[in-house]
Amino acid sequence: MSIRIIGGELKGRKLVTVAGKETRPTSNRVRESIFNILGNCVQDACVLDLYAGTGAMGIEALSRGAKWAFFAEGQRAALAALAKNIKSCSLENRTNTIKCNILDNLKILQSHRAAFDLVFIDPPYNQDLIQPTLAHLARSQCLANGARLAVEHSPREPIPENRPEFEVADRRRYGKTLVSFLIYMV
Protein backbone atom coordinates (compact mmCIF):
# COMPACT_ATOMS: atom_id res chain seq x y z
CA MET A 1 0.00 0.00 0.00
CA SER A 2 1.37 3.39 -0.98
CA ILE A 3 0.61 6.28 1.33
CA ARG A 4 1.27 9.95 0.86
CA ILE A 5 0.77 13.11 2.84
CA ILE A 6 -2.47 14.59 1.57
CA GLY A 7 -2.37 18.24 2.65
CA GLY A 8 -0.25 21.05 3.99
CA GLU A 9 3.42 21.85 3.55
CA LEU A 10 4.41 18.20 2.99
CA LYS A 11 1.60 17.43 0.53
CA GLY A 12 2.54 14.66 -1.88
CA ARG A 13 5.42 13.30 0.24
CA LYS A 14 5.50 9.51 0.06
CA LEU A 15 5.83 7.61 3.35
CA VAL A 16 7.58 4.30 3.99
CA THR A 17 5.22 1.50 5.02
CA VAL A 18 5.76 -1.73 6.94
CA ALA A 19 5.79 -5.07 5.12
CA GLY A 20 3.32 -7.70 6.28
CA LYS A 21 -0.09 -7.45 7.90
CA GLU A 22 0.91 -6.52 11.44
CA THR A 23 0.66 -2.79 10.71
CA ARG A 24 -2.42 -1.46 8.90
CA PRO A 25 -1.87 2.12 7.70
CA THR A 26 -4.88 4.41 7.49
CA SER A 27 -5.81 4.75 3.83
CA ASN A 28 -5.33 8.09 2.12
CA ARG A 29 -9.10 8.44 1.69
CA VAL A 30 -9.92 7.82 5.36
CA ARG A 31 -7.06 10.06 6.52
CA GLU A 32 -8.27 12.89 4.29
CA SER A 33 -11.81 12.51 5.66
CA ILE A 34 -10.58 12.56 9.26
CA PHE A 35 -8.61 15.74 8.68
CA ASN A 36 -11.53 17.38 6.87
CA ILE A 37 -13.71 16.68 9.91
CA LEU A 38 -11.06 17.92 12.37
CA GLY A 39 -10.60 21.12 10.38
CA ASN A 40 -9.01 23.91 12.42
CA CYS A 41 -8.43 21.68 15.46
CA VAL A 42 -5.11 20.70 13.90
CA GLN A 43 -3.59 24.20 13.72
CA ASP A 44 -0.98 24.72 16.49
CA ALA A 45 -2.02 21.47 18.22
CA CYS A 46 0.19 19.24 20.34
CA VAL A 47 -0.52 15.81 18.86
CA LEU A 48 -0.35 12.33 20.37
CA ASP A 49 -0.32 9.44 17.89
CA LEU A 50 -0.95 6.13 19.71
CA TYR A 51 -0.33 2.85 17.87
CA ALA A 52 1.45 5.18 15.47
CA GLY A 53 2.60 2.61 12.92
CA THR A 54 4.20 4.57 10.07
CA GLY A 55 3.29 7.86 11.73
CA ALA A 56 1.05 8.94 8.86
CA MET A 57 -1.57 10.54 11.14
CA GLY A 58 0.88 12.56 13.23
CA ILE A 59 2.98 13.55 10.22
CA GLU A 60 -0.17 14.62 8.36
CA ALA A 61 -1.09 16.77 11.37
CA LEU A 62 2.37 18.38 11.40
CA SER A 63 2.09 19.04 7.68
CA ARG A 64 -1.22 20.80 8.32
CA GLY A 65 0.08 23.11 11.03
CA ALA A 66 0.32 21.15 14.28
CA LYS A 67 3.28 22.41 16.28
CA TRP A 68 4.51 19.14 17.79
CA ALA A 69 3.79 15.38 17.68
CA PHE A 70 4.53 12.55 20.07
CA PHE A 71 4.44 9.03 18.60
CA ALA A 72 3.94 5.85 20.67
CA GLU A 73 4.40 2.47 19.02
CA GLY A 74 5.30 -1.00 20.25
CA GLN A 75 6.43 -2.81 17.09
CA ARG A 76 10.07 -2.55 16.00
CA ALA A 77 9.39 -2.68 12.26
CA ALA A 78 6.83 0.11 12.59
CA LEU A 79 9.24 2.19 14.68
CA ALA A 80 11.91 1.80 11.98
CA ALA A 81 9.47 2.96 9.28
CA LEU A 82 8.33 5.82 11.51
CA ALA A 83 11.92 6.98 12.07
CA LYS A 84 12.56 6.96 8.30
CA ASN A 85 9.38 8.94 7.68
CA ILE A 86 10.21 11.55 10.30
CA LYS A 87 13.71 11.94 8.88
CA SER A 88 12.60 12.09 5.23
CA CYS A 89 10.10 14.83 6.14
CA SER A 90 12.74 16.73 8.21
CA LEU A 91 10.53 16.67 11.31
CA GLU A 92 13.08 15.58 13.90
CA ASN A 93 12.86 18.86 15.82
CA ARG A 94 9.04 18.71 16.04
CA THR A 95 8.62 15.10 17.16
CA ASN A 96 9.32 12.62 19.91
CA THR A 97 8.97 8.85 19.57
CA ILE A 98 8.85 6.11 22.18
CA LYS A 99 8.63 2.35 22.02
CA CYS A 100 6.07 1.28 24.54
CA ASN A 101 3.30 -1.17 25.22
CA ILE A 102 0.36 1.21 25.40
CA LEU A 103 -1.62 -1.36 27.39
CA ASP A 104 0.93 -1.36 30.22
CA ASN A 105 0.30 2.30 30.95
CA LEU A 106 0.90 5.75 29.57
CA LYS A 107 2.55 7.28 32.64
CA ILE A 108 5.63 7.95 30.53
CA LEU A 109 3.65 10.78 28.94
CA GLN A 110 3.51 12.62 32.26
CA SER A 111 7.26 13.19 32.17
CA HIS A 112 6.95 15.14 28.92
CA ARG A 113 4.66 17.70 30.58
CA ALA A 114 2.65 18.19 27.43
CA ALA A 115 -1.07 18.77 27.30
CA PHE A 116 -2.17 17.07 24.11
CA ASP A 117 -4.88 18.82 22.10
CA LEU A 118 -5.31 16.15 19.45
CA VAL A 119 -4.98 12.37 19.79
CA PHE A 120 -5.05 9.66 17.13
CA ILE A 121 -5.75 6.11 18.30
CA ASP A 122 -5.56 3.28 15.77
CA PRO A 123 -5.06 -0.03 17.59
CA PRO A 124 -5.17 -3.44 15.92
CA TYR A 125 -8.81 -4.27 15.24
CA ASN A 126 -10.95 -6.64 17.30
CA GLN A 127 -8.47 -7.12 20.13
CA ASP A 128 -10.42 -5.16 22.77
CA LEU A 129 -7.75 -2.46 23.01
CA ILE A 130 -9.94 0.65 22.96
CA GLN A 131 -11.28 0.44 26.54
CA PRO A 132 -7.89 -0.03 28.21
CA THR A 133 -6.26 2.57 25.97
CA LEU A 134 -8.87 5.18 26.89
CA ALA A 135 -8.55 4.25 30.58
CA HIS A 136 -4.74 4.65 30.50
CA LEU A 137 -5.08 7.89 28.56
CA ALA A 138 -7.48 9.34 31.14
CA ARG A 139 -5.20 8.27 34.03
CA SER A 140 -2.12 9.75 32.37
CA GLN A 141 -3.48 13.27 32.88
CA CYS A 142 -1.79 14.39 29.68
CA LEU A 143 -4.83 15.69 27.80
CA ALA A 144 -5.92 19.30 27.54
CA ASN A 145 -9.52 19.93 28.52
CA GLY A 146 -11.50 19.80 25.28
CA ALA A 147 -8.88 17.65 23.52
CA ARG A 148 -10.13 15.94 20.36
CA LEU A 149 -9.58 12.23 19.78
CA ALA A 150 -9.99 10.34 16.51
CA VAL A 151 -10.32 6.61 17.19
CA GLU A 152 -10.17 4.17 14.28
CA HIS A 153 -11.77 0.85 15.06
CA SER A 154 -13.85 -2.02 13.79
CA PRO A 155 -17.62 -1.55 13.98
CA ARG A 156 -17.60 -4.78 16.03
CA GLU A 157 -15.52 -3.06 18.70
CA PRO A 158 -17.53 -0.02 19.81
CA ILE A 159 -16.35 2.87 21.93
CA PRO A 160 -17.11 2.00 25.57
CA GLU A 161 -19.88 4.06 27.10
CA ASN A 162 -18.56 3.79 30.66
CA ARG A 163 -15.94 6.52 30.11
CA PRO A 164 -17.77 9.73 31.07
CA GLU A 165 -14.68 11.87 30.48
CA PHE A 166 -14.88 11.08 26.74
CA GLU A 167 -17.91 12.40 24.88
CA VAL A 168 -18.64 10.95 21.44
CA ALA A 169 -19.07 13.94 19.11
CA ASP A 170 -19.33 12.13 15.77
CA ARG A 171 -18.97 8.74 14.07
CA ARG A 172 -18.20 7.96 10.46
CA ARG A 173 -17.98 4.64 8.66
CA TYR A 174 -15.54 3.98 5.83
CA GLY A 175 -15.94 0.39 4.63
CA LYS A 176 -14.65 -1.86 7.44
CA THR A 177 -13.38 1.13 9.43
CA LEU A 178 -15.39 3.14 11.93
CA VAL A 179 -13.91 6.44 13.09
CA SER A 180 -15.25 7.82 16.37
CA PHE A 181 -14.48 11.43 17.24
CA LEU A 182 -14.34 12.04 20.98
CA ILE A 183 -13.95 15.14 23.13
CA TYR A 184 -12.13 14.90 26.46
CA MET A 185 -14.03 16.72 29.19
CA VAL A 186 -12.75 16.83 32.77
User: What pLDDT, on a 0 to 100 scale, did the predictor assign at position 1?
Assistant: 65
Q: What is the pLDDT of residue 112?
A: 67
Measure the CA angle with vertex 167, ends 162 and 169; round to 5°.
Answer: 135
pLDDT score, position 105: 67
Q: How many CB atoms lie within 10 A of CB 131?
A: 14
- pLDDT by residue for the chain (186 residues), tens only, comes to 679 999 999 999 999 998 876 677 888 899 999 999 999 999 999 999 999 999 999 999 999 999 999 999 999 999 999 999 999 999 999 999 999 888 776 777 766 667 899 999 999 988 999 999 999 898 888 899 999 999 999 999 989 888 899 999 999 999 989 999 999 998
CB-CB contact of 154 with 146 (8 Å): no
pLDDT at 141: 85
- In this prediction, residue 113 carries a pLDDT of 64
Which pTM does this prediction carry?
A: 0.94
CA distances from 70 to 9, 30, 73, 127, 179 (A): 19, 21, 10, 24, 21
pLDDT value, residue 5: 96
Please state, as a whole number, how many other Cβ atoms lie within 10 Å of the Cβ of residue 182: 22
